[in-house]
Amino acid sequence: MPKYVVLNFEDKYLSTHKGAADSTIQVLQRRYEQTKQTRGLTRLFVGKNSLIEHRPVELNGETIGFTTDHTRITQIRTDCARAEKIYAVAHGDPRTPDVCYTNSPHGVGVVRLADYTGLADFLKLVVPPRETVIRIALVTCYGARYARYQRAQVDHTGMIADDDLRTSFAYQLFKELVEGRKVKLTAVTGKIQHETTQGCALVEHEDMTKTWNSPRRRGLRP
């Protein structure tokens, strides 16, 4: 049974907050559990697609961060080890390409969760290496946008210079993850949301999607 895992870094554990992550999860459920589920005799042997959500963020006093609960980490690792694709959902800001954010525990705005090294360390903890390629979608606004993010300075619809690529959160995250793993990571350079009818991603019109693939990267060396 193919599994698709959502690591919801926007909402903390047991939170009832409804936000961007929830709409993403609803779209993915429709895409995999309804539209793309196997049918007919094939379903008897292959089974039905399933989407699993984990909320790995917790509040410890006034400090918000990744869970350290061993039981929860073990379950997340078990699901990620068998996942067809992993979606890492967090908030991003084009002005701070080294940092991802989570919803404020006080219910207003967002707060810093981790830099790319911190997120990579947690992902390496819960996504074990394997022989096949690990497919990760970074569902983060401006996740692949660069330090020189202004449209007037960078042509986001054309070929982007390697030096600019290396400054994005997504590439720096990929660089941390790729050692000892075969990873394909996809991120977008603009603000992202999901269209609920078709289930497709909607990205700001001047931006484009970037993919980093560890078996065959386009010459960028970490």
pLDDT digits (tens, 9 = 90+) for 150-199: 655 656 565 667 788 888 999 999 999 998 889 999 988 777 655 555 44
CB 105 within 8 A of CB 95: no
- 3-213 CATH: 3.40.50
Lowest-confidence segment of 120-124, 156-160, 169-173, 212-216 by average pLDDT = 156-160
Locus of tokens 């990873």: 183
pLDDT tens readout for residues 31-59: 776 665 665 544 444 457 788 899 999 98
pLDDT at 143: 86
| Residue 77 scores a pLDDT above 90 | yes
Q: Can you give the residue ranges of every domain in the chain?
A: 3-213
Percent of the chain clearing pLDDT 70 (strictly above): 71
* Residue type for position 81: A
What counts of helices (H) and strands (E) characterise the chain? 6, 12
| Burial bucket for residue 167 (CB in 10 Å: 0-12, 13-18, 19+) | middle
Locus of tokens 């690792």: 77
